[in-house]
């Protein structure tokens, strides 16, 4: 009895952004694929040497309609795509599994046939099929003629399909634990291609992709494939930019996948992920996205920053420059304090909690040089995706020294007339500043600051101290 056919699909819109039309994909000269006159050549020799002999895996690339749904319009694979595609299968799928899981695992579970087609397989619901796993022994790959093997994004998309389909094969042998289904059971929908199921909504509900919502089996396969192929940095960024409930679900799904591979197949999923990532980076030029968890906005939101110091006398302002617009504000504040017999030394932004900032002014008596501090409490909100920060004055103020010092009539008027409106009437952008400190500089990430939204030349920065 034939097992159910699993399919990985993507909406046509996504496909149309970088590929030809359906008619162009299906327009081929079938005379070039005459099976009666075909003579084996270099492609077959490579496949025999690299896949059939060591892995007992056959590759069907000549056009045979009976190897997939006969009611679909399909085109043959371009012969120039066969070896690059199957070499990608070898490098990013077979060898990593062989290294981490062992040869016995490969011989037992890996599919024994790969079937290649040039065009996508078009579905009636407006989606396309990128791949399928049939009876635990065959993987069918579509949409190969448009693949650019020099483009890491193209390669990763197809390799993700392969890992997705192989996960289905593993699930056909050992079922997915019920705990995984229960995490999102109420949110699965057969109508995953509907306009209501946007990528943003899927993310909000705790899914790694739109397609994950179609069933818990697809959810499991999508999670495994994304973790392996897109990598851990991608996944952590996805969680960091999700709401807390969604991030918690995704983290639990990740744990269940790790447990499934370890408990049932004795596979260290992290080690497997590292192997796949290594090949994608060294062979195909893939790179990790920017680690959002290490950006200034995320560190602020995560209460990882202790304080930022602004002292215009410091040498780094001579080296990297400063904002004329903010310097004018600072000088005005300094002059206002001086009029009351106080010398301004510097000020600090102390991030005492995830949403609380203390504006701390360090000043001295103009005659005795006795140092004093004045603290003013602020609340702040931060959008980690845009870096936008909004400061609001916290009322009531804190009690005791140095809060009472802040109410001293020699310092309070200057704060209320100059610094308070500057901080509370603008939206700021939190980022690593100054721009002159590039990511290749060892100092990158040790300085940060805030620029005014819409007025990037109005900014302040200083050394930061992490918790």
pLDDT band per the 50, 70, 90 thresholds, residue 126: low
Strand, helix or coil for residue 117? coil
Element (H, E) at 14: helix 12-16
Average pLDDT estimate for 34-39: 61
Average pLDDT estimate for 308-328: 96
Task: List the CATH number of the domain containing 367.
Answer: 2.40.128
The three-point CA angle 36-41-44 to 5° equals 95
Compute the distance between CA of residue 86 and CA of residue 346 in angstroms, rounded to an integer: 63
Average pLDDT estimate for 423-439: 96
Each residue of 332-359: pLDDT tens digit? 999 999 999 999 999 999 998 889 999 9
Buried b (16+ CB within 10 A) or exposed e, 89-104: bbbbbbbbbbebbeee
| 117, burial (CB in 10 Å: exposed 0-12, middle 13-18, buried 19+) | buried
Average pLDDT estimate for 360-364: 96
255 occurs within a structural domain: yes
Compute the distance between CA of residue 399 and CA of residue 228 in angstroms, rounded to an integer: 52
The answer for residues whose C-beta is within 8 angstroms of residue 341's C-beta and 6 or more apart is 365, 366, 367, 410
Residues 139 and 273 in one domain: yes
Residue with tokens 């004795």: 266
* Distance from the Cα of residue 466 to its chain's centroid: 24
Compute the distance between CA of residue 149 and CA of residue 89 in angstroms, rounded to an integer: 12
Per-residue pLDDT, 6: 35
Assess whether pLDDT exceeds 90 at residue 221. Answer: yes
Kindly report which listed range (6-20, 236-250, 253-267, 310-324) carries the lowest average pLDDT score. Answer: 6-20
- 138-141 and 113-116 beta bridge pairing: parallel
Token duo for residue 49: 């040497």
Assess whether pLDDT exceeds 80 at residue 91. Answer: yes
Residues 408 and 285 in one domain: no
Per-residue pLDDT, 32: 56
Tally of CA atoms within 13 A in the half-sphere of 84 that contains its CB? 18
pLDDT band per the 50, 70, 90 thresholds, residue 16: very low
Would you say 353 and 385 are in contact if contact means Cβ atoms under 8 Å apart? no
Average pLDDT, the chain: 89
Element (H, E) at 342: strand 342-353
Residues 225 and 140 in one domain: yes
Strand, helix or coil for residue 169? helix
List % helix, strand, coil for the chain (3-state, nearest 5).
45, 20, 35
1 occurs within a structural domain: no
The answer for residues whose C-beta is within 8 angstroms of residue 153's C-beta and 6 or more apart is none
Per-residue pLDDT, 14: 30
Domain boundary among 227, 259, 293: 293
Compute the distance between CA of residue 40 and CA of residue 194 in angstroms, rounded to an integer: 46
Per-residue pLDDT, 241: 86
192 occurs within a structural domain: yes
Kindly report which listed range (17-31, 70-84, 153-167, 248-262) carries the lowest average pLDDT score. Answer: 17-31
Average pLDDT estimate for 161-179: 94
Question: What pairs with residue 140 in β-bridges?
Answer: 115, 132
Per-residue pLDDT, 4: 33
Would you say 190 and 183 are in contact if contact means Cβ atoms under 8 Å apart? no
Would you say 220 and 185 are in contact if contact means Cβ atoms under 8 Å apart? no
Assess whether pLDDT exceeds 60 at residue 3. Answer: no
Assess whether pLDDT exceeds 80 at residue 2. Answer: no
Residues 20 and 157 in one domain: yes
Greater confidence (106 vs 8) lies with: 106
Token duo for residue 391: 């400061």
Assess whether pLDDT exceeds 60 at residue 5. Answer: no
Domain that holds residue 322: 297-466
In angstroms, the first-to-last Cα distance of the chain is 61
Per-residue pLDDT, 27: 56
Each residue of 376-412: pLDDT tens digit? 999 999 998 899 999 999 988 888 888 999 999 999 9
DSSP 377-400: EEEEEE-TTT-EEEEEE-SSPP-S
Per-residue pLDDT, 8: 37
Residues 253 and 381 in one domain: no
Domain boundary among 265, 293, 321: 293
Assess whether pLDDT exceeds 80 at residue 122. Answer: no
122 occurs within a structural domain: yes
Token duo for residue 260: 């499934």
Residues 114 and 230 in one domain: yes
Domain boundary among 293, 312, 346: 293
124 occurs within a structural domain: yes
The three-point CA angle 57-62-66 to 5° equals 85
Assess whether pLDDT exceeds 50 at residue 364. Answer: yes
Average pLDDT estimate for 426-451: 95
**Helix (H) and strand (E) counts for the chain?**
20, 14
Q: What is the pTM (predicted TM-score) of this model?
A: 0.76
Greater confidence (222 vs 127) lies with: 222
- Residue 15 has phi, psi (to 5 degrees) of -65, -40
Q: pLDDT exceeding 70 applies to what percent of the chain?
A: 88
Task: List the CATH number of the domain containing 30.
Answer: 3.40.390.70
Question: How many structural domains comprise the chain?
Answer: 2
Residues 327 and 258 in one domain: no
* Neighbour count for residue 174 (Cβ, 10 Å): 11
């Amino acid at each position: 009895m034939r097992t159910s056919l699993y399919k990985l699909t993507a909406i046509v819109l996504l496909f149309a952004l970088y590929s030809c039309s359906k008619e162009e994909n299906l327009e081929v000269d079938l005379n070039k694929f005459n099976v009666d006159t075909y003579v084996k050549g270099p492609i077959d020799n490579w496949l025999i040497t690299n896949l059939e002999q060591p892995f007992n895996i056959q590759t069907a690339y000549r056009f045979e309609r009976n190897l997939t749904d006969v009611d679909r319009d399909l085109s043959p694979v371009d012969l120039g795509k066969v070896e690059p595609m199957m070499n990608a299968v070898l490098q990013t799928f077979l060898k990593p599994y062989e290294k981490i899981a062992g040869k016995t695992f490969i011989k037992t579970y890996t599919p024994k046939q790969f079937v290649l087609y040039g065009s996508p397989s078009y579905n009636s619901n407006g989606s396309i099929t990128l791949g399928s796993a049939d009876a635990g022994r065959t993987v069918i790959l579509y949409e190969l003629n448009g693949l650019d093997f020099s483009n890491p994004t193209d390669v990763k998309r197809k390799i993700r399909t392969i890992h997705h389909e192989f996960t289905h094969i593993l699930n056909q042998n050992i079922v997915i634990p019920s705990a995984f289904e229960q995490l999102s059971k109420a949110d699965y929908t057969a109508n995953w291609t509907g306009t209501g199921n946007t990528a943003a909504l899927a993310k909000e509900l705790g899914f790694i992709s739109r397609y994950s919502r179609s069933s818990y089996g697809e959810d499991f396969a999508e999670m495994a494939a994304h973790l392996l192929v897109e990598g851990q940095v991608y996944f952590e960024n996805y969680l960091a930019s999700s709401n807390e409930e969604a991030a918690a679900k995704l983290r639990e799904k990740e744990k269940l996948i790790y447990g499934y591979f370890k408990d049932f197949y004795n596979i260290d999923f992290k080690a497997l992920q590292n192997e796949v990532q290594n090949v994608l980076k060294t062979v195909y030029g893939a790179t990790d996205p920017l680690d959002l968890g290490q950006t200034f906005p995320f560190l602020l939101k995560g209460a990882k920053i202790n304080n930022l110091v602004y002292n215009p006398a410091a040498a780094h302002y001579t080296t990297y420059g400063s904002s004329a617009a903010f310097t004018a504000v600072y000088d005005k504040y300094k002059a206002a304090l001086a009029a009351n017999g106080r010398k301004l030394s510097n000020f600090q932004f102390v991030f005492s909690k995830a949403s609380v900032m203390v504006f701390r002014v360090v000043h001295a008596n103009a005659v005795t040089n006795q140092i004093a501090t004045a603290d003013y409490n602020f609340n702040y909100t931060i959008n980690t995706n845009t870096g936008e920060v909004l400061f609001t004055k916290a009322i009531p103020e804190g009690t005791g020294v140095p809060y009472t010092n802040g109410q001293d009539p020699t310092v309070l008027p200057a704060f209320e007339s100059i610094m308070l409106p500057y901080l509370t009437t603008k939206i700021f952008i939190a980022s690593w500043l100054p721009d002159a400190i590039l990511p290749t500089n060892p100092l990158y990430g040790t300085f940060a600051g805030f620029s005014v939204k819409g007025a990037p030349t109005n900014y302040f920065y200083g050394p930061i101290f992490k918790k």
